[in-house]
Every structure is written in structure tokens, then in C-alpha cells.
Structure 1
């Protein structure tokens, strides 16, 4: 029998971790020859930069570069957090207000979606085709519950939505067991099983919506009963006791069903400078927030109560409007204020850590503000800047089409992806006349009626940027794991999971500090359930390799059983302390969560070093 040997076929079958087993002098050639090394990259070919352009020849140089890569990963995480915080969060808030959601429902749906959108995008990329995704999902769930929950409980203790938290934990454990059962039945996953996970999420969503509707109906009935008892002229002691009990119950139920506020009232009057602007403001030095608020209200000839009673969204929309002003008054001042990354008064009141964060994201904030429109009903003029928004009508579609085209083609020239402009340039035919029309029809002191249509531009470009940055974080974590000779399971259950949880927690903690602790905590519990159902469900539907026999082994990985046991332990212990503490989040919980996470990491490290045996069975092979 004649066998034709082809070296190209060998390179096609090799995986990128083979680079680490050859001498430095051969790594440049192999990084170009092995197809898998190109497939797992997105915009930048890191191996070609390391071994061809930088020509690394020593282990010490390699380690130094990996330390720099960790710094780059942290910066990319901050970029992702900034995009979600400044651009995605206001869009989700607008949607939650329009849909009349309470804080809990907004947390488990919109906020959860915003947090896990980068992870959802990563799961559908080629780099994750044969990754231990179930282990990664379990590790992310552990990190999210412990880090996010611990930070929120420590910084802002609050009253937990009891029945909602218990329901989320039970659904989360059920989804985990369902995925494990589907993998155990025949050592593979079918498309029907992936679809069943997605259906489970929609069942969960329907239950929460129906629960909110029933709660509001019960609230209306309870209010009527309280009003009826309050009208009694000579109530008995029994009636008074019953009334107090019903009033306490009403207060708790109103707290659980509280809607997302249209805006944070204290944020309206804390802009960088309340200066002479549009003929409606005069200069006020940076003083106490309450004094600034009172003075600003007096300047509009209104009391604090009258402003709160008005339609606050419309009030902020027209806050600078004066029909006597020219249409283009302060056109360039508006542009400068929109791209200025530092709010002086907020910077002065911030802590040292917050100031460091503001300075670090300042370059990214300037670049994003040039190309990503802001639509935020809690800001003055809802974030409208006439000149900047007209420029973004032209630039944003061009950038979105260019980047999307490049990510679809995935062709590299040297170490970087090739950008194609042959399709995106045609967008100017539609966007330039539209921008001229918008500039002609609009004012600087008041957003147009169609301003919310800019949400389409904001969401589209933010989605593309999140895909790029989140995937680069994933690729960098894989590169660091390979170069450091870590197993993929350990890298995913430690470095990657910690980074993902930390980036989500940055935004959730900022929400908790502003008074939305219940929403942030709910998003932390619903997030793992979203990953088990929508995340894994879409992955099983789009990845044909999971339907192959024995796919369970690489989906679980070497540390999958460890992650499973720790996940169930953490879910049950979280359920226990929630019930034991009468649904009150306490700072002691944060210490408990920190200890649990350290124990989990220590166990993962000891398993990686083969000091202890994992919670798994040794592989057994039938004799042939």
C-alpha cells in the first residue's frame, strides 16, 4: 500500500501549543506554518510578533513579555468595563424604563446580558472550538458569585430580594445539572439538547415576568386594604395591629417591586462646572453637592419638590433650551465638553483608586467619545452634542462596516489583520447627506426628537468593539497559558475566570455604590444561569464538534470535576447564608467569599502541580 506523506497536512493537524516544544530558532517558521496558530488569533498574531519580529531567543525575555501581556490584558479589561459602563448601561437603562421593569428584573435580564455579552461573543469564535467550555463556564460562575457578591456585600450591604435570590440559585444549579446530564447520556451533545438549554432560559424569563405581574397585582390589593383600614374612624387594637402588619408587608413588597429610576437625581447637578451656559446658568464653584443642587434649582426658579414632581426626562432634555439662543450657540464648546474625559468636580470627590482608573482610561475615553454616540437620559441634554453627533453619523457606520468586513475575511498581512474599505466607503453616499440634514435641522441646546435613534449606532459599534477587545483578552490569556506551560484547564479556571469576573464586578460595584445593590447582586446570580443556558446552548448549536463522540472529555477538561464540586458547594453555601441571615447582605459574607475563592484557587494550583488528585476518575481504556 502506497502512503503519500505531505508535510502541509502535518502542519494542518498540529495545534499551536506545539510551538512550546521546539527550539526558539524554529518557532518563527512554525508560527507561520501551523494553521491553528492563525485560526486562534483575531486582529493581532502575537506569536509572529514574539518569535519573528521581536526574535525572542531566551526564556527570561519570554517571561518579561508575558508580564507585559498581563498588563495589556488588564488595560483591555478596563476598556471593556468602560464601554459597558458608559455606553451599554444607559441603553439598557432606557429599555428597562420603557418596559417598566423593577430593579431585580432589570438586573437578571438587561444588566446580566450587558455583563455577559463579551463572553457570549467569545464562545462563538474559532479559538473556543475545542476548549473545555463547561469547565470555563463553571469557573466563571464560581468567580462571579464569590468576587461580585463579596465586593457588593462588603461595600454596600443591602436587603436581598429573598424569593428571587433563592429562585436564581435553584435555577442555576438545575441548569448546571442539566448540562452535565446531557453530556453524560451519550458522551456528546446534540443540537436538540443545546436548544433545550436556550428554552430553559426563556422559561425562567417567563416565570420572572409573571412573578412581577402577580406581585404588582398583590401590591394593588394590599394598598386598597391598607387604605380601607386607615379610613376607619375608631379602629380597635386588633385593627391597628393588623394595619401595622400590612403596612410593613407593603413596604417590603414596594421595595422588591421598585422600578429602575429614570435618573440619579444627585448626578444632575454635579457636572464639571455650572458655568454661564446657554443664558441659563451662572458660575458656581465646586462646593457641596447639596448646596450646588439648591442653588441650581433656585436659578431655574423652582423648588426641589417641583422638579422631582415633573417629568425628569423631559426636564433634563430641555435643561439648556432657550428659543432666543442661536441654533449653533457654543457649537465648539459642546464638542470640547463631550470629548473631555475628566469631570473636574467628580474627580475631586473621587477616591485615589477611582482617580487612577479615570487617568488610565482617559486615552480610551477620548477615542471612544469621538466615534461612539452617547444616549443617556440621566445626562443633561441626554448626551446630545450637535457637531460631534453629526460627525458620528458619518464615521460610526464606516468604522462598523470596515471592522465587520475585516473580521469576516480574517486575512493577515504580517502580524495584523487586513482592513478592507471597498464596501465601507459606499456608506458615505448615505451618511454624508444625512449628517448635513441633521446639522441643518437641529439645535445645540436641545436634542432632536429622533435622538434616541442614535442608540442603533451606539449599540452596533459597541458590539463590534466588545467583540474585538473581549476576544483579544481571551487570545492573550491563551498565549500566556501556553508560554507559561500552563494547561488550558488551569488557565481558564484561574486567570481567565478571575479577569472575566473582575471586569463584570467593576460595573456592578459602581451600580451598588449608587444604590442599585439589589440589581447588581441579582445580575451576579443570574449571570451563571445565563452562561449555562444561552452561552452553552448557542455554543452547542453552532459548534459541530460537540456532536462528535467523546466530546464530553474535552468539554469538561482535566479540572472540570473540581470546578463542578466547588460550584455546587458555593451555590449551596450561598443559599444557606442568604436564608440564615434573613436575606440581609453583611460584610462578613465578603470575608467568607474571599476565603472560599482562595481555597478554590489553592486546590486548582495543587491539582495543576500534581500534588493532589483531582475530583475525577482516572481514564480507563479497553484492551485491544
Structure 2
């Protein structure tokens, strides 16, 4: 039988890392010919830009471009952190208040979901089809527990929810062992095993919800007993001792079951406590603080509120409302205030690091302000801006449909993804009349009753933007690893894991500074469990390659055993210091976590350079 040889079949079977083994003059052609190089990209074809448009011919130029790519990847991480902090977090807070969650439950569910939403998107992209995902998940868990937990403990020591933290650590270790057991049994993963991981997460949720319900029932009984003992006119010493013990127990349980606050102080009403930031005075004095407050109120003809009014969610909604004002009063000024990326009062009281962060995210902040609605019950007018929100009713659905359509087609023209408008343009038929109606019915000084419906627009556009940003970060990580001749295991377990942990820490640290350290720490412990169950479970369900024989080898990767060893070591030591310190987070823990992470990185580098042997067996082959 005659066999026809086709060079296209060769290109279709080649991997993208083959580019690194040919001369620079041939890389442009191969980047277009190799099908895998196109499949692993998303919005931008980086190899075409490097070897076709930039026409890189020397190794030094290639290294310089990689350094710039690392900076770009860091900026993308900051963009993800900004979107989660400003847009996702307020939505999750509103949901947690509606569902009457305590801070711990909100941390392990909603906050954890917000932090790991980008990972959920990455796992279903083509670039991850045959990646060492179990090793990547372990590396992210190590970086998250050590960096995120260490920074929180250093900046704001707090009382840990003891039984919750121990339960999270045990579930986290159990989920890791379950995934490893499923891979070791028959050297592959079935869809039923992936489904079992997802079911394990829902069992974990049910246990936490039932635990919260039982805790609140116990609190009610304990309050009744304390009230009964307090009413005794002539209590004995034994009764007084019992009463003190019950009151202390009640105080600790009330702290653990405390709900998420319905409001925070609005940013324009700066509390006197903000003048002291870890012992450092801000540049704003009392007179300037009062001026900021009074100018904003007098602008709309209002008077200064009382302290009680400042903490009222309803008051923040109606703070500038005056029925005598015109409906479109300060329409353009309101628009400018909404898209202005820098608040002068906030910038003045920020530290130098915070100011650098504000400047770096300024371009992202402007773009997001134009297209992403803000729904936040802890700020004035709940984030309402009449003209801007009416514009967003038109632009946001158009952008969402356009981006999803482009991601579904995934066609490129001159190194960039092609945008299609033939479907999204029809959204104007609904959005334009709706925007006109909203503009006609609403005021500038008060959000409408249906303002929370903008949460749908906010969630939809942040969903697609987070997917794009997270995938671009993953693609850049792979490109940097390939060009630097790193293994995919090392690039994912070092560069990407470290950047992802810093990205999550930006939001969690801001929560810890505001007094939600327990919530942020709980999210850091529940995050790895979410990755082992939901992220890996969804990956096993949607990726047919994991069902092939010996898929365990590429799922675990070359450094998977190292990551597993360090992960279990870190889980046990975290459990040990939590119990040893009587559930008190101390600054010394941050030093310990930092040292542990440095040891992990050193070991990964030495294994990558083949200086030491990894915690794994050498491959054995049966004689033929």
C-alpha cells in the first residue's frame, strides 16, 4: 500500500517547544506552520510578534524581550488583583450579607471563589491540555499558604478560628491525597473520579453550613443561660465563676460567628483612626479631613451627618439626595469623578508602596471605570454615576458579546485575535432604548431602586476580562519558560505560582488591614482545597487526555513529587504552629513561612539544574 508523505502532518504533530531548537531565521515560518503554537495562544500570538514582526535574531535581544514579558506579566497580575478588589469583592460582599454568612464562611466560599476564578478559567484552556496541572496546583497551594498567610500574619496579627482552620487543613490534605490516589491506582483519571472531587467540595460546604447553624443555635442557648445566671440576686462564688466562664466562651463564639458587616465607612468620611497607620501619621490633618467631607456634602446642599448616620447603608445611598436639586445636577462632574483613577485624599494618606501601586494600575483603572459598573454598598451613592452607568448599559453587553464571540472563533490576523461584531451589534436594539429609559427615570444624587441589577453587567464583563487576563498570564508564563529553556514544571512552580500568590495577596492584605484578617486567612487555607476539588475536578471532566493510560506522568510532571513533599510538610507545620500558638497568628509565623518558601524555591532550582536528585524514582523500562 502506498503511503503519501505530507509535511503538513509533520507540522501538525510537532510541539511548540520545537521552535527553540532551530535557528532564529526559521522560527518565524515555524511559528505559523506548527498548529500547536496557534492552539496554545489566546488573544495575542507572542511567537509571531517576537520572530516575525520584531524579527529577533540574537539571544541577547530575546533575553531583553523576556525581561519585558516578565514585567508585563506582573502588570497583568496587578490588573487581576484590581478587578477582584474593586468589582468582584463588593458583589461577593452583597451576596454574603443577603445569605447571612459569617466572616469565616464568606472567606472559604465567596472570597476563595473570587481569588481562584482565574485558575478555573485557565484549566479549561488549550494551553493546559497536557500540562503538569497537579504539580501546578501543588505549587500554587504552597505559594498561597506561605506568601498569602505569612503577609497577613505579619501585617495584622489576629485570632484564628481554631476549629475551622484545623478542619480546612485536614480537608486540604485529604483532597491532595485523594487526587494522588486516583492517579496512582490505574495511571489515569476517569470522569467519575473527577466528579468525585467536585462532590467532595459540596460535602465540605454542607459541613461548614451545618456547623455555622449549630454554632448559632449553641449561641442562643448560651445567651439564655448567661442571662438566667446574671439575674440571680445573690449568686455564690461557684455561680460567679461559672458565669465568667460562660461569658468568655460566649465572647469567643460571637467573634467566630460574626457576620460580614453591612457597611464600611465611606471613603469621603475619613475616621480619625486612619490618621495613624502602624504608628505613622498621614499628611492630612483634622481640618483637611473636615474640608473633604464638608465640600462633598455642600456640593449637593446637604449638612454634615452624625457618626451614627455615617455607618448607615441607607444613608450612604441617600447621602447627596435633595429633592430640590435638578435631576441632572453635576452630571458631567459626576462622570469625571467616576473615571478619575486617583483620589487626592486617598493618595495623600497612602504609603509610598501604595502610591506606586495606584500609579501602576492607573491605565487599568481608567479602562475598567469606563466599561465596568460599580455596585458597592459601602461607598457613597453605592457607586452610582448616572451618565456613566447609562453609557455602560450600551457598551458593556456589546463588549461582552464581542469578546466571547472572538474567543469562540479564535482566529488571528497579524498576531492578534480577530474581533467579530456581526452578533454583538444587535445588542444595541435592546440596550440603547433601555439606557434612554434609565436616563429619563433616574437622578444624579441618588441611585435608583434597580441599581443592584447592574451587578449582572459587572459580573458578566469581569468574568470575560478575568478569563482573558488569566489565560494571557499563563501563556506568557509558558513562553518565558520555553524561551529561557526552563522546563514547564519549573516555570509554573516558581514564576507563575509566585506571581499568582502576590496577586491574591493584594486583595487579602487590604482585607486584613480593614480588620478582616480571619476572613482572608480562611480564604488562603480554603483556596488549595478549592483548587484540588473544583479546579482539578472540572479539568478532569472536560479534558479527554487525562483518561489515557499513563496520563499520571505528565499530570505529576518532573517536580510533582517535590511539590507534594513540600506541600504536606507545610500543611503539617501550619497545623503545628496553629495549635502551638493557641490559634493566635503572630509575626514570627511570617518569618517561618518566608524561610520555608525560600527553601522550596532553592530545592526546585537545584533540581532544575540537576544538581540534586528530586524526590522521585528514576524511570524504569521493561526489557523487550
SS at match of 2:522: helix
Aligned position for 2:3: 3
Q: How far apart are the structure 2 equivalents of 1:306 and 1:254?
A: 25
Question: Is the 8 Å Cα contact of residues 40 and 127 (structure 1) preserved in structure 2?
Answer: yes
Q: How far apart are the structure 2 equivalents of 1:455 and 1:18?
A: 45
Q: How does 1:182-197 map to 2 (within 5 A)?
A: 182-197=182-197
Question: Is the 8 Å Cα contact of residues 386 and 439 (structure 2) preserved in structure 1?
Answer: yes
The structural deviation recorded for 1:229 is 0.8
Question: Is the 8 Å Cα contact of residues 269 and 293 (structure 2) preserved in structure 1?
Answer: no
Closer/same/farther in 2, CA of residues 589 and 343 from structure 1, 3 Å limit: same
Aligned position for 2:175: 175
The structural deviation recorded for 1:291 is 6.4
The structural deviation recorded for 1:268 is 5.2
SS at match of 1:376: coil
Q: How far apart are the structure 2 equivalents of 1:259 and 1:437?
A: 37
Closer/same/farther in 2, CA of residues 78 and 13 from structure 1, 3 Å limit: same
Question: Is the 8 Å Cα contact of residues 12 and 35 (structure 1) preserved in structure 2?
Answer: yes
- 1:97 maps to 2:97: yes
| Count of residue correspondences | 608
Closer/same/farther in 2, CA of residues 291 and 228 from structure 1, 3 Å limit: farther
Q: How far apart are the structure 1 equivalents of 2:303 and 2:100?
A: 30
The structural deviation recorded for 1:264 is 1.5
- Structure 1 runs not aligned, ≥5 long: 272-284
Aligned position for 1:516: 516
The structural deviation recorded for 1:263 is 1.6
Which whole-Å deviations, capped at 9, do the CAs of 1:586-612 have from their partners, x for residues lacking one? 000000000000000000000000000
Q: How far apart are the structure 1 equivalents of 2:307 and 2:55?
A: 66
Closer/same/farther in 2, CA of residues 307 and 415 from structure 1, 3 Å limit: closer
The structural deviation recorded for 1:374 is 0.3
Q: How far apart are the structure 2 equivalents of 1:31 and 1:600?
A: 35
SS at match of 1:479: helix
Question: Is the 8 Å Cα contact of residues 158 and 518 (structure 2) preserved in structure 1?
Answer: yes
Aligned position for 1:444: 444
Q: How far apart are the structure 2 equivalents of 1:8 and 1:570?
A: 48
Aligned position for 1:158: 158
Q: How far apart are the structure 1 equivalents of 2:428 and 2:157?
A: 51
Q: 2:307 aligns with which of 296, 304, 307?
A: 304
Aligned position for 1:282: none
SS at match of 1:614: coil
Aligned position for 1:464: 464
The structural deviation recorded for 1:235 is 1.1
Q: How far apart are the structure 2 equivalents of 1:255 and 1:290?
A: 35
Which whole-Å deviations, capped at 9, do the CAs of 1:312-364 have from their partners, x for residues lacking one? 22111111111111111111111011001111111111000000000111111
Which whole-Å deviations, capped at 9, do the CAs of 1:523-582 have from their partners, x for residues lacking one? 000000000000000000000000000000000000000000000000000000000000
Say which is worse superposed, 261-270 or 468-477, in terms of deviation. Answer: 261-270
Aligned position for 1:212: 212
Q: How far apart are the structure 2 equivalents of 1:125 and 1:379?
A: 36
Aligned position for 2:221: 221
- 1:287 maps to 2:285: yes
SS at match of 1:619: coil
Q: How far apart are the structure 2 equivalents of 1:186 and 1:288?
A: 69
SS at match of 1:421: coil
The structural deviation recorded for 1:487 is 0.3
- What's the C-alpha RMSD, in Å, of the aligned pairs? 1.7
Which whole-Å deviations, capped at 9, do the CAs of 1:243-280 have from their partners, x for residues lacking one? 11111101100000011011222645149xxxxxxxxx
Question: Is the 8 Å Cα contact of residues 122 and 467 (structure 2) preserved in structure 1?
Answer: yes
Aligned position for 2:278: none
The structural deviation recorded for 1:305 is 3.8
Closer/same/farther in 2, CA of residues 468 and 307 from structure 1, 3 Å limit: closer
Q: How does 1:463-542 map to 2 (within 5 A)?
A: 463-542=463-542
Aligned position for 1:80: 80
Question: Is the 8 Å Cα contact of residues 266 and 379 (structure 2) preserved in structure 1?
Answer: no
Q: How far apart are the structure 2 equivalents of 1:526 and 1:217?
A: 25
Aligned position for 2:402: 402
Aligned position for 2:276: none
Question: Is the 8 Å Cα contact of residues 481 and 487 (structure 1) preserved in structure 2?
Answer: yes
The structural deviation recorded for 1:234 is 1.2
Closer/same/farther in 2, CA of residues 482 and 307 from structure 1, 3 Å limit: closer
The structural deviation recorded for 1:232 is 1.1
Q: How far apart are the structure 1 equivalents of 2:470 and 2:47?
A: 19
Q: How far apart are the structure 2 equivalents of 1:307 and 1:225?
A: 35
Closer/same/farther in 2, CA of residues 462 and 295 from structure 1, 3 Å limit: closer
Q: How far apart are the structure 2 equivalents of 1:409 and 1:295?
A: 51
Aligned position for 1:326: 326
Question: Is the 8 Å Cα contact of residues 158 and 584 (structure 2) preserved in structure 1?
Answer: yes
Question: Is the 8 Å Cα contact of residues 294 and 304 (structure 1) preserved in structure 2?
Answer: no
Closer/same/farther in 2, CA of residues 398 and 193 from structure 1, 3 Å limit: same
SS at match of 2:255: helix
Closer/same/farther in 2, CA of residues 95 and 290 from structure 1, 3 Å limit: farther
TM-score normalised by structure 1 residue count:
0.95
Closer/same/farther in 2, CA of residues 307 and 507 from structure 1, 3 Å limit: closer
Aligned position for 2:275: none
Aligned position for 1:432: 432
Aligned position for 2:265: 265
- 1:36 maps to 2:36: yes
Q: How far apart are the structure 2 equivalents of 1:515 and 1:106?
A: 14
- 1:605 maps to 2:605: yes
Closer/same/farther in 2, CA of residues 291 and 15 from structure 1, 3 Å limit: closer
The structural deviation recorded for 1:2 is 3.0
SS at match of 1:265: coil
- Structure 2 runs not aligned, ≥5 long: 272-282
The structural deviation recorded for 1:307 is 5.3
Aligned position for 1:243: 243
TM-score normalised by structure 2 residue count:
0.95
Question: Is the 8 Å Cα contact of residues 561 and 614 (structure 1) preserved in structure 2?
Answer: yes
SS at match of 1:606: helix
Q: How far apart are the structure 2 equivalents of 1:519 and 1:501?
A: 17
Q: How far apart are the structure 1 equivalents of 2:126 and 2:270?
A: 45
The structural deviation recorded for 1:209 is 0.3
Question: Is the 8 Å Cα contact of residues 268 and 293 (structure 2) preserved in structure 1?
Answer: no
Q: How does 1:326-365 map to 2 (within 5 A)?
A: 326-365=326-365
Q: How far apart are the structure 2 equivalents of 1:418 and 1:289?
A: 54
Which whole-Å deviations, capped at 9, do the CAs of 1:390-437 have from their partners, x for residues lacking one? 000000000000011000000001100000000011000000000000
Question: Is the 8 Å Cα contact of residues 141 and 528 (structure 1) preserved in structure 2?
Answer: yes
Aligned position for 2:616: 616
Closer/same/farther in 2, CA of residues 289 and 451 from structure 1, 3 Å limit: farther
Closer/same/farther in 2, CA of residues 288 and 516 from structure 1, 3 Å limit: farther
